[in-house]
Amino acid sequence: MAKRRKTKRTARKRRGVGAVNKSLIMNGLFAIGGGVAAGFISKFASSINLTGNSKTDGMIQSLLPVAAGLGVAAFMGKKDSKFLYLGMGMAAVGGANAAKSLGLIGGVPLVAGLNRPQVRRLNGVGQATGRTPLIAGTKAAAIAS
C-alpha cells in the first residue's frame, strides 16, 4: 500500500488571463468622462459674468473646470476611486484649455510643425515647381494654355 501524503495542500485561485485590467479600462473611461464634463462646465462658465473686467472673467472662466475637477477628486474621490479619475480628467482637460486661453502655450503649434510654411521645391532649372511641369526652353504660360 502507498504511503499517504501528510502535507496539507492549499487550493490556489486561478488568476485572470489577459493583458488589460478591467479596472484600468473603467478608470480610463471615467477620466474621459471627466474631460467631457470639463467641456460642459467651460461652456456653462462662458455665459457667467463674475466681475466687470473681461480679462479677469476670462481667467476665472478658464480655470473653473480645473477647480471643479480638483473639488470632485478631493471630496468624492475618498469614497470611490472612480470619482478620483473623473475629477482628474476634468482637471487635466480644464488645465490644458486654460493654458491655451491664457496664452501660456501659444507657440506649441509652431514647435510641433502644424503651422509650418510650405517648402518651395525647385526643379532642375531653379524654378519653383507648380501644378504644371516645366519643360526646358518653354514658358509656363505657354504650357498652361
Predicted confidence (pLDDT) at residue 120 exceeds the cutoff of 80? no
Continuous H helices in 46-138: 54-75, 81-101, 108-112
Q: What is the structure's pLDDT at 68?
A: 92
Between CA 32 and CA 54 the distance in angstroms is: 30
Half-sphere exposure of 9 (CA within 13 A, CB side): 4
The pTM assigned to this predicted structure is 0.57
State mean pLDDT over 115-137. 58
pLDDT of 58: 82
With DSSP H G I counted as helix, E B as strand and the rest as coil, what are the percentages for the chain, rounded to 5? 55, 0, 45
Residues 6+ apart with CB under 8 A from 30: 82, 83, 85, 86, 89
CA angle 136-131-112, nearest 5°?
A: 120
State the chain's mean pLDDT as an integer.
Answer: 76
User: In angstroms, how far apart are the furthest CA atoms of the chain?
Assistant: 107
Q: What is the pLDDT of residues 5-38, one digit of tens each?
A: 777 777 777 666 666 778 888 989 999 999 999 9
For 128, residues 6+ apart whose C-beta sits below 8 A from its C-beta are 120, 121, 122
Radius of gyration of the chain (CA): 30
pLDDT in tens, 63-108: 899 999 999 999 988 888 889 999 999 999 999 888 888 777 765 5
pLDDT at position 124 over 90: no
Q: What would the pLDDT profile of 36-59 be if each residue is shown by its tens digit?
A: 999 898 888 888 777 777 788 888
**Is-contact 101 65, C-beta < 8 A?**
no
pLDDT on residue 115: 55
Give me the pLDDT at residue 36, please.
92
Q: How many helices (H) and strands (E) does the chain have?
A: 5, 0
